[in-house]
Amino acid sequence: MAQKPNLPSRKLKPATLAVHDGTLRSQFGETSEGLFLTQGYVYESMEQAEARFNNTDPGFQYSRFSNPTVSMFEKRMASLEGADDARATATGMAAVTASLLSWVNAGDHIVAAKALFGSCRYIVEDLAPRFGINSTLVNGADLDAWRAAVKPNTKAFFLETPTNPTLEIYDIAAIAEIAHKAGAKLVVDNVFATPIFQKPLALGADIVCYSATKHIDGQGRVLGGVVLGSNEFVSGPLQMFLRQTGPSLSPFNAWVMLKGLETLALRVERQAESAGKIADFLAKHPKVTRVYYPFREDHPQVKLAKKQMSSGSTLVCFNIKGAKKEAFAFGGALEIVKITNNLGDAKSLITHPATTTHQRLTPDARAELGITDAMLRLSVGLEDPDDLIEDLDLALKNV
Ligand SMILES: *Cc1c(COP(=O)(O)O)cnc(C)c1O
């Protein structure tokens, strides 16, 4: 008997797609996605092998190019994002690298926001120029700065929003318009917003990338990444770059990510709700001098945040009264919240950006991004928000 279609063809909502879309069932009809730990695929005949290689027989060839479990993850991500297609990678950094270097050439120019994840900043500031791709870093919130940075050879704009760690918001639609006028493509690293809270492609971006290590796994287990965009881009330059350079996602990690996607919407909605409560608690606390949370009325870009995102964030950033000594005393006194540089986990995690994630930047570069020694970044997990607030409250008493 023929397999029943996995989903009806009518339009479905993200939570439904995140549970079902892309599932390929083997002849066993397994309910949960199969984990295909195989490097290669056996052909029925030499003729079939030939046809597979000249693309006249659709199917798998080698797991560096594609694998059924990885393919399920890619299809499900594309469906959730509203992209034509997607390719998964071994890490978020492999995704960022491929989303730029798969199609930008020597002699081209990249404009990027200054507030980038450290390794992303390395790609545009140090790596790309070694291969003849120059870059200009701008204040991402300043639309005139994007316009002024454009050169005749500008091919790509690159940004993250909300930014790490200060949760600044950049106007994706306006920046996409500037990019397109200049004949450039906009690439958005959408990690902090998640595919649930922000849809860069719908706002005008051309390419979206993720570290799936963060909210998509969501339980601190495996590394992974994904790049999404048009069919032309994904099956053209992106596919070629990934296939030939080889940063493939392991099928095991893809399987973990697929299970993560099933609960992504539930998790991030709950985490953002708790983050909002925690931001309100911190804002009222006498030992906290400033809170950064995109959906709070005191956030300088709250209107823009509400326009382009459907929820604040699962992260809260704040400045404690004092400096490094006070920030360290507070972090050290936390009992439920763990000290680590990761984010998007079911466990609440705290980071002191100045001495960890942003340690490599010069003090001036940190100051320019508003990162002080009194600043802490909290990734809110799935614990009961009342327990988290109590943990924060007790630790603040210790300062
Ligand atoms: C973590 C992160 C990355 C890199 O992802 P990995 O999976 O660690 O390689 C890139 N961009 C942002 C915004 C991130 O938070």
Strand 185-189 and strand 134-138: the pairing is unpaired
Range of the domain at 41: 14-262
**175 and 197 belong to one structural domain:** yes
Q: What is the pLDDT of residues 353-395, one digit of tens each?
A: 999 999 988 999 999 999 999 999 999 999 999 999 999 999 9
**291 and 233 belong to one structural domain:** no
Distance 44 CA to ligand 1 centre (A): 41
**334 and 272 belong to one structural domain:** yes
Residue minimizing CA distance to atom 11 of ligand 1 = 117
- Position in ligand 1 atom list of the atom nearest CA 213: 7
**75 and 113 belong to one structural domain:** yes
* pLDDT of the residue at 4: 85
Specify the 3-state DSSP secondary structure of 333: helix
Residue minimizing CA distance to atom 6 of ligand 1 = 92
Distance 224 CA to ligand 1 centre (A): 9
**296 and 341 belong to one structural domain:** yes
CA distance 387 to 383: 7
Residue type, 331: G
Q: What is the mean pLDDT of the chain?
A: 96
Sign of CA dihedral 265, 268, 272, 273: positive
The residue written with tokens 């922000």 in the block is: 198
**293 and 250 belong to one structural domain:** no
The residue written with tokens 């001495």 in the block is: 355
Q: Which of 243, 262, 281 is the last residue of a domain?
A: 262
**258 and 144 belong to one structural domain:** yes
Residue 108 Cα distances to 102, 121, 137, 152, 279, angstroms: 13, 17, 15, 9, 42
Within a domain: 285: yes
Q: What is the percent of the chain with per-residue pLDDT over 90, rounded to a whole number?
A: 96
Instruction: Find all residues with CB under 8 Å of 173, minimum gap 6, and list them.
Output: 203, 204, 308
CA distance 186 to 197: 19
Q: Which of 247, 262, 277 is the last residue of a domain?
A: 262
- Position in ligand 1 atom list of the atom nearest CA 164: 13
**216 and 308 belong to one structural domain:** no
Given a cut of 90, whether residue 327 has pLDDT beyond it is: yes
The answer to whether 102 touches 240, Cβ cutoff 8 Å, is: yes
Q: How many domains does the chain have?
A: 2
**Nearest alpha-carbon partner for 224 in 88, 329, 385, 60:** 88
Quote the tokens at residue 283: 């804002």
Specify the 3-state DSSP secondary structure of 174: helix
Distance 250 CA to ligand 1 centre (A): 17
Specify the 3-state DSSP secondary structure of 381: coil
Residue 52 Cα distances to 44, 46, 270, angstroms: 11, 10, 45
Distance 326 CA to ligand 1 centre (A): 28
- Position in ligand 1 atom list of the atom nearest CA 343: 15
- Position in ligand 1 atom list of the atom nearest CA 342: 1
**126 and 183 belong to one structural domain:** yes
**120 and 198 belong to one structural domain:** yes
Q: What is the percent of the chain with per-residue pLDDT over 70, rounded to a whole number?
A: 100
The residue written with tokens 């917003």 in the block is: 193
**180 and 270 belong to one structural domain:** no
Mutate to test the pocket of ligand 1, among 213, 217, 223, 356 (most ligand atoms within 8 A of CB): 213
Q: What is the pLDDT of residues 29-46, one digit of tens each?
A: 999 999 999 999 999 999
**202 and 245 belong to one structural domain:** yes
Within a domain: 258: yes
Given a cut of 90, whether residue 1 has pLDDT beyond it is: no
Q: What is the pLDDT of residues 166-212, one digit of tens each?
A: 999 999 999 999 999 999 999 999 999 999 999 999 999 999 999 99
Whichever domain contains 343, its CATH number is 3.90.1150.10
Distance 338 CA to ligand 1 centre (A): 19
Q: What is the pLDDT of residues 48-79, one digit of tens each?
A: 999 999 989 999 999 999 999 999 999 999 99
As a whole number, mean pLDDT of residues 221-241 equals 98
Which residues are near ligand 1 (CB < 6 Å)? Answer: 91-93, 96, 117, 120, 160, 164, 189, 191, 211, 213-214, 223, 225
* pLDDT of the residue at 280: 98
Name the pLDDT band for 3 (thresholds 50, 70, 90).
Answer: confident
CA distance 143 to 171: 8
* pLDDT of the residue at 239: 97
